[in-house]
Amino acid sequence: MPKPSSDTVASVLQRVDAGLEQSRDRLFDLLRIPSISAQPAHKADCLRAAEWSRDQLLGLGFRAELRPTPGHPVVVAHHDGPAGYAGPHVLFYGHYDVQPVDPVELWHSPPFEPTLVDGPRGKRFVARGAVDDKGQWMMFVEALRAWHDVGGGIPARITIVLEGEEEVGSVNLEPFLRANKDDLKADLGLISDTGMWDVHTPAITTRLRGMAYIELTLKAAKRDLHSGLYGGSALNPINALAKILGDLHDENGRIQLPGFYDKVRPITNAQRAQWDALGFDEAAFLGDIGLTAPSGERGYSALERLWARPTADVNGIWGGYTAAGSKTVIAAEASAKVSFRLVSDQDPQEVFAQFQQFVNDRLPAGAIVTFDLHSGAPGMEVNSDSAWVKAALDVLTDEYGKPAILMGSGGSIPVVTSLRNVLGIDTLLMGFGLDDDQIHSPNEKFEQTCFHHGIRSHARLLAKFAGA
Ligand SMILES: [Zn+2]
């Protein structure tokens, strides 16, 4: 097949515009299926959402089927693209499951009756799953549909994986990817489950923070002690633990674990300039949550700290007496939960080892400590110089008429790590959500303008893959 011409791309985009209402109607059909993966009562609905998704892809000429897992099925679909296709084999990932709807009384319309509402940015879709993630991956399907209908067919070699357990931790996904490694082999991952900077400013997310979540318990005497009889000579594990955790940061907010920053990549000047130009209002960001002064690592802006720097936070600390009044006790043990948000190539197992060394180095004589790593995910940074990041930035810039930016995200998307570990591929994160979309909350919504631009952007990206 010859490379698509600019006329072809223009007619595909026109088709997207002309078919927007039908695209929306199809999304609404999917949104009506209450595919809440966490709740056993919705098991059949999850299956129905998977079947509905499979049927859409069959209708576009994909080879599509449901594959069982110990939990909800995975939809897998393949299309070889045009004969002689020489572009990348793209693996698109989305999830058809949604979060529970509680507290349901706070919804202004029933969560599974998608509603078109007028908002300050035009029409918006209100329903559970509107943006997370049904609305986002349906943009890709609708872009494929426009190509299928007027662009001469599916223009690229594509594998689609739609998971039904993202909202319950994707426990079966990585084993599934391993078991189907040969079938899912591709050159590039593509996911639409992230956000824009704002409604006018598109973005590619190139950084996701990982996590090491650790619990520790420090023990001293074999029982709780009377602080009058033993205070002053018996080791107090709460004092000791508080002192150790107090050492986590130095006076500049630098984390003191040995080797902690070895794998943290510095922020490039170009990246810093781009983020500075966004004019992020740190005072308003903090003011929203009732804070009047910034905190954190010295020498970095708020966005840099959120997107490109690791953190250490004590999430809980307990021990001794905490009920009403006073009790003069020296506790036998003290515990804390400590989490590290990780960036770049920081590895949770390595950070776990660093933390154990940090604590052991400071452990007073007579104390023993136990550790437990609850969960871990490495930081993720996509090479922002890659050809596909550049192509996606071009696409977004063409679509929005202004430069797209490279963003970070403070949170993590575990599948990105799985795709890298199991399939050895990098992932392009091109999403169209907004900060106020209320994901996981009542009245989740997706702006129609984001949905529309998102379909068009995916249609343009497909043209890039095809070499247009
Ligand atoms: Zn979600």
Q: What is the pLDDT of residues 165-200, one digit of tens each?
A: 999 989 999 999 999 999 999 999 999 999 999 999
Q: Which residue, 445, 348, 363, 456, is CA-closest to 115?
A: 445
Instruction: Summarize pLDDT for 119-163 with one digit per residue, the tens.
Output: 999 999 999 999 999 999 999 999 999 999 999 999 999 999 999
Strand locations in 138-219 (E)? 157-163, 188-191, 203-208, 210-219
Q: What was the pLDDT predicted at 55?
A: 98
- Do 342 and 399 sit in the same domain of this protein? no
Stronger pLDDT, 410 or 288, i.e. the higher one: 288
- Average pLDDT of the chain to the nearest whole number: 95
- Do 372 and 385 sit in the same domain of this protein? no
Distance 229 CA to ligand 1 centre (A): 54
Average pLDDT of the residues in 419-428: 94
High-pLDDT (> 90) share of the chain, %: 91
Could you list which residues have their CB under 5 Å from ion ligand 1?
A: 132
Evaluate the CA torsion angle 450, 454, 457, 461 in order and state its sign: positive
Q: What was the pLDDT predicted at 85?
A: 95
For residue 295, being part of any structural domain is answered with: no
Distance 435 CA to ligand 1 centre (A): 13
Distance 413 CA to ligand 1 centre (A): 10
For 62, 120, 227, 386, the CA distances from 140, given in Å and listed in that order, are 14, 25, 65, 21
Domain count, the chain: 2
Choosing from 377, 394, 419, the residue where a domain stops is: 377
Q: What was the pLDDT predicted at 185?
A: 96
Q: Which residue, 98, 93, 92, is CA-closest to 72?
A: 98
Amino acid (one-letter) located at 437: D
For residue 290, being part of any structural domain is answered with: no
- Do 150 and 100 sit in the same domain of this protein? yes
- Give bridge partners of residue 117 from the DSSP assignment: 124
* Residues spanned by the domain of 318: 210-264+310-377
Average pLDDT of the residues in 5-22: 96
- Do 415 and 339 sit in the same domain of this protein? no
Distance 102 CA to ligand 1 centre (A): 14
Distance 209 CA to ligand 1 centre (A): 16
Choosing from 377, 399, 419, the residue where a domain stops is: 377
Residue 368 sits at the vertex; the CA angle it makes with 340 and 259, to the nearest 5 degrees, is 35
Distance 101 CA to ligand 1 centre (A): 12
Distance 132 CA to ligand 1 centre (A): 5
- Whole-structure pTM value: 0.88
pLDDT band at 385; cut points 50, 70, 90: confident
Distance 235 CA to ligand 1 centre (A): 45
- Do 256 and 389 sit in the same domain of this protein? no
- Do 46 and 182 sit in the same domain of this protein? yes
For residue 282, being part of any structural domain is answered with: no
For residue 292, being part of any structural domain is answered with: no
Instruction: Summarize pLDDT for 192-232 with one digit per residue, the tens.
Output: 999 999 999 999 999 999 999 999 999 999 999 999 999 99
Distance 133 CA to ligand 1 centre (A): 7
Please state whether beta strands 122-126 and 445-447 pair in parallel, antiparallel, or not at all (unpaired): antiparallel
Q: What was the pLDDT predicted at 381?
A: 87
Average pLDDT of the residues in 335-352: 95
- Do 73 and 108 sit in the same domain of this protein? yes
CB–CB of 434/130 below 8 Å? no
Q: 377 phi and psi, to 5 degrees? A: -150, 135
What is the C-alpha to C-alpha distance for residues 297 and 414, in angstroms, rounded to an integer?
26
Distance 441 CA to ligand 1 centre (A): 10
Q: What was the pLDDT predicted at 37?
A: 97
CB–CB of 50/96 below 8 Å? yes
Q: Does position 401 have pLDDT exceeding 60, yes or no? A: yes
Supply the CATH number for residue 243's domain.
Answer: 3.30.70.360
For residue 283, being part of any structural domain is answered with: no
What is the C-alpha to C-alpha distance for residues 205 and 201, in angstroms, rounded to an integer?
13
Distance 411 CA to ligand 1 centre (A): 12
- Do 383 and 368 sit in the same domain of this protein? no
Choosing from 350, 377, 404, the residue where a domain stops is: 377
- Do 337 and 422 sit in the same domain of this protein? no
- Do 246 and 319 sit in the same domain of this protein? yes
Distance 222 CA to ligand 1 centre (A): 45
Q: What was the pLDDT predicted at 468?
A: 67
- Do 199 and 345 sit in the same domain of this protein? no
For residue 44, being part of any structural domain is answered with: yes
Distance 193 CA to ligand 1 centre (A): 8
For residue 303, being part of any structural domain is answered with: no
Residue 103, preceding bond cis, omega within 30 degrees?
yes
Q: What was the pLDDT predicted at 432?
A: 98
- Do 359 and 408 sit in the same domain of this protein? no
CA dihedral 127, 141, 408, 195 (to 10 degrees): -30
Long-range contacts of 249-256 (CB under 8 A, 24+ apart): 249/312, 252/297, 252/298, 252/299, 253/295, 253/296, 253/297, 253/298, 254/297, 254/298, 255/310, 255/311, 255/312, 255/340, 256/358
For residue 270, being part of any structural domain is answered with: no
Distance 36 CA to ligand 1 centre (A): 11
